Chains A and B, each alone.
Chain A
């Protein structure tokens, strides 16, 4: 059986997350010390060459993102780091586990990112419902200030950086980076047109780096242990680990950190196998904005690229397992209901489209209409939405619909 490779979660459950001394004893803030001894551009190169990619779902190269942000608008008076801690994708709770069990790790990564792009101010946009994460992160920030790891002259250098928590308020869409920036500016959470990307014109019009909690939690490890070590984990093309949150019909649902390229079958085995030995039916990979996989996907390597090639998604690392007794139609309906609830209403195709899709999936559930025609219509409509919506929300319903149609629905 595959074993977990705990690098990001190495301290989870082992140290007191509210005691910075524990974190320091476990080698904490050594990555930051290393980073501060390097040129900012060298830090970016290190992350770039290590092959770290965004763990929020998009899988974009973190080093590239940092390089773009550091190289635009050199005359801008301010640069920002924004931590995306607004975890809201159904079935995902990896960032919560990091924040609750080892908050200094991602905070250290945030300070490293700030040094890399020469930002002096950062915000942690934290999901409003995550009361425990808020508490632990607040404490970590206070303690980091006390130790001189935040604030003026960090670790005795000329570098200064301040960070504050900003709370989300229950909008899934604010987990999308441009919408998050709108929300941070004290506005309704509706998406912006891109380009310009946050790297050019982000928070308050300044170059802004938006990185996910898990992504940033990798940075101190790469800095302190080196890119060669990091590259040795995972596959040739996908380095490092991914934290999967597996839930639903398995015996031991939870958070598992595996090297990139582990298979779905291995993950299910690690999670104690199917609940009560029921036969596997499907897994929803990546949450509501993800794809259904059937048993033909069990042995596929779970990397960003391989899953994409197979028409599936790795996304946030959410894996919702369904057994024979579960209905793919019902879960699809739940996802579509979720999108209807979370659509901000800015783009008409998404506003009306999400409502129409829920109606059709209700009909599909009732089974009193021509199901083939319904599924075809849903495919058509979600494709139109994907082509005409500004942000990933309107572009997402096609993912579960198309994959459900491919494997499970008559069409």
Chain B
């Protein structure tokens, strides 16, 4: 969907800013907010460019740089630490061949750390885009990633 159409789904009120940014980012194949999209949002809501860029840069769910189609967000909170996520994180890094904050060369995955995802009853946990994966183990992680790969190759 073109940027203008996405933005115009929302009323031009300031309190819609975060909802608009979410919609714009989710619509972009590289999961990020482009400069043009932010500028258009600023014009639509009658905000300064600085205000909109400031907001986009502040919240950790938004990215100002292109990312992969799938954002792997691994919870590193105290509960997941007790449940030994630190031992699994290297497995994910190795499987993807990237470190936290990086994107795979084929543009499929970006690896990120996340604060508590609220899935503590079945920790350790991660999210890939909107989907939650719990009770992670090395084997389970490999299965999840290879399934996504095979569906998107």
Binding site for B on A (CB under 8 A): 87-93, 96, 123, 127-132, 166-172, 183-189, 245, 247-249, 253-255, 284, 287-288, 318, 320, 322, 326, 330-331, 334-335, 338, 341-342, 344
> What are 25 A-B pairs at a CB distance below 8 A?
A88-B118, A90-B78, A90-B79, A90-B116, A96-B118, A123-B15, A129-B114, A129-B127, A131-B131, A131-B132, A132-B132, A167-B18, A171-B60, A186-B16, A247-B82, A247-B120, A247-B123, A248-B79, A320-B78, A320-B79, A320-B82, A331-B78, A331-B82, A338-B78, A342-B115
Binding site for A on B (CB under 8 A): 14-19, 21-22, 45, 47, 51, 54-55, 58-62, 73, 76-79, 81-83, 114-123, 127, 130-132
Instruction: Indicate if the CB atoms of B82 and A248 lie closer than 8 Å.
Output: yes
Q: Which residue of the partner chain A has the closest CB to B113?
A: A341
Chain B residues positioned under 8 Å from A326 (CB to CB):
82
Instruction: Indicate if the CB atoms of A249 and B82 lie closer than 8 Å.
Output: yes
| Other contacts beyond A92-B118, A184-B15, A247-B121: 19, CB < 8 A | A88-B115, A88-B118, A93-B121, A128-B18, A129-B117, A132-B132, A169-B22, A183-B18, A185-B14, A186-B45, A186-B47, A188-B55, A245-B121, A248-B83, A287-B116, A320-B120, A334-B78, A334-B81, A342-B115
A137 to chain B, nearest CB (A): 14
Chain B residues positioned under 8 Å from A128 (CB to CB):
18, 22, 61
Q: Which residue of the partner chain A has the closest CB to B119?
A: A93
Instruction: Indicate if the CB atoms of A172 and B47 lie closer than 8 Å.
Output: no
Interface residue from B16, B18, B82, B115 paired with A168 (Cβ < 8 Å): B18
A124 to chain B, nearest CB (A): 12
Tell me whether A189 and B121 are in contact in the complex, defined as CB-CB below 8 angstroms, given that A90-B77, A334-B81 are known contacts.
no
B112 to chain A, nearest CB (A): 10
Interface residue from A167, A248, A330 paired with B19 (Cβ < 8 Å): A167
B3 to chain A, nearest CB (A): 18
A241 to chain B, nearest CB (A): 18
Interface residue from A92, A123, A167, A171 paired with B116 (Cβ < 8 Å): A92
In the assembled complex, the Cα of A322 lies from the Cα of B83 at a distance in Å of 10
Chain B residues positioned under 8 Å from A287 (CB to CB):
78, 116
Interface residue from A127, A185, A187, A331 paired with B81 (Cβ < 8 Å): A331
